[in-house]
Amino acid sequence: MPAALRHYLTITGNYWLFTLTDGAIRMLVVLHFYQLGYSPFAIAMLFLFYEFFGIVTNLVGGWLGARIGLNRTMQIGTGLQILALLMLTVPDAWLSVAYVMVAQALSGVAKDLNKMSAKAGVKLVATEGNAQLFRWVAWITGSKNALKGAGFFLGAVLLSSVGFQGAMGWLAAMLFIGLAMTLTLPGGFGAIRAKKGFAGMFSREPLINWLAAARIFLFAARDVWFVVALPVFLVSIGWDFHWVGAYLALWVIGYGIVQALAPRLLGGRRSSPLEDGPTGRTASIWTFSLALPLVAILAALMLDLTDGWVISLGLAFFGIVFAINSATHSYLILRYSALEKASMNVGFYYAANASGRLLGTVLSGLSYQWIGIMGSIGFALGFVILAGALSLQLARLEPSADNES
């Protein structure tokens, strides 16, 4: 097996196991603390440090990966996730808001070190041009999200079968396998000889800055309804934990499948200065398209069609469009980045991603508690419009993309 493919499979395998545990933790925390009587906003606050430290980690992690190697940052991330899981195996009496927020902070650091390492690693091992880069990044991103969906369902099942603490122990044991896999990567994988200063973690490239700005509001538009509002809404109208976990799992699995198929769905026509693959114009078109299912959901709510399945169907269509958009973004950040800047640009970009998730997470609990599900969907629509407007700058700047990177 060629070394590039072998390293790609190692990166993907670790990322899969990590994502499975990350999705399970998300569902376990939401359902367990709702069961304990926490309000939607209080549940959202449990994820505050998770998202905040994700911002910091992506900025520092890209710089760190360029200095010590992506294999090391992946190993550090996996080890921190194991520690975070073990912290949550303590009795319920110990699980104060502050304690859980600290554990979630470690998990946020771990997740974003792992994600940055995996995404930047694909740039290094995809050696056959943009077509292969788009296929490989779409596959690792799509398969990751499918497994995150499986993690949602796994979390709900483990909560019902072995309880919150038992579930955390099982997930930690699974992740030791992923840690062992990373030991096969070569030492210094992704490190660069010319050591970049700490200021290098911030991008000075206009294309990457506009793409990162659009990413903030794109992911805020998803998480403002998905993180807290939707699962709490479904439980409040009578769905049990298994149904909520199964629905969210199927949504994310379907989302991941569409992401993995995005290169085939979009085609590879050579119609742009970027030679092949999607462009900034592709990103802006698909971003504005996200408004259609959201407007349809709001119209249904105004007509008092508040059945969980009506809203769920609309959000399923939202997921299909969002998946193609997300795959396009994940490709563009790597396409816009020069090889020697890959880890730092990816870190900067996913810091923007984490900022959007933080914004969406906080507003998910707050908007639902104040206004209800209609408020959460309304915020999502506003964020989609902002993301689309920012994406319009990409097409304007793309003719100079090769000079920029």
Q: Establish if 193 belongs to a structural domain.
A: no
What three-state secondary structure class fits 246?
Answer: helix
Q: Establish if 194 belongs to a structural domain.
A: no
9 vs 383: CA distance, rounded Å: 35
Quote the pLDDT of residue 405.
37
Residue type, 51: E
Q: Establish if 41 belongs to a structural domain.
A: yes
Please write down the HEC assignment for all residues of 337-369: CCHHHHHHHHHHHHHHHHHHHHHHHHHHHHHHH
Q: Which residue has the tokens 């199964």?
A: 246
Q: Establish if 196 belongs to a structural domain.
A: no
Angle between helices 206-226 and 342-370 (to 10 degrees): 30
Q: Establish if 192 belongs to a structural domain.
A: no
35 vs 160: CA distance, rounded Å: 12
Enter the tokens of residue 354: 């984490």
54 Cβ partners below 8 Å, 6+ apart? Answer: 108, 109, 111, 112, 350, 351, 354, 357, 358
Choose among 102, 131, 130, 133: nearest CA to 120: 133
Residue range(s) defining the domain that contains residue 8: 3-185+201-404
22 vs 103: CA distance, rounded Å: 13
Q: What is the b/e burial string over 286-300, where b = at least 16 CB atoms within 10 angstroms of the residue's CB? A: bbbbbbebbeebbeb
Q: Establish if 191 belongs to a structural domain.
A: no
pLDDT (tens place) for every residue of the chain, 405 residues total: 566 667 777 877 888 888 888 888 888 888 888 788 887 778 877 877 887 887 778 777 767 776 777 778 888 989 999 999 999 998 888 888 788 888 988 988 888 888 777 777 776 666 656 666 777 777 777 777 778 878 888 888 888 888 889 999 999 998 998 888 888 877 666 555 545 544 444 456 788 888 889 999 999 999 898 878 888 888 887 777 778 777 877 887 888 888 888 877 776 444 443 446 678 888 899 999 999 999 988 888 888 776 667 777 888 889 899 988 888 888 888 787 766 666 677 778 878 888 898 899 888 888 888 888 888 899 999 999 999 999 998 888 875 444 443
366 vs 41: CA distance, rounded Å: 5
String of DSSP letters for 157-190: HHHHHTHHHHHHHHHHHHHHHHHHHHTTSPTTTT
Quote the pLDDT of residue 207.
85
CATH of the domain at 247: 1.20.1250.20
Contact 55, 354 (CB under 8 A): yes
Query: How far is Cα of residue 27 from the mean position of the Cα atoms in its chain?
Result: 15
156 vs 153: CA distance, rounded Å: 5
The domain total for the chain is: 1
Q: Which residue has the tokens 């069609």?
A: 305
366 vs 151: CA distance, rounded Å: 25
Quote the pLDDT of residue 401.
42
Task: Read off the pTM.
Answer: 0.70
Contact 259, 397 (CB under 8 A): no
81 vs 174: CA distance, rounded Å: 11
Q: Can you say whether the dihedral through the CA atoms of 82, 87, 91, 96 is positive or negative?
A: negative
**pLDDT tens-place string over residues 302-341:** 887 766 677 778 888 898 999 888 888 888 887 877 666 6
Q: Establish if 190 belongs to a structural domain.
A: no
Q: Establish if 136 belongs to a structural domain.
A: yes
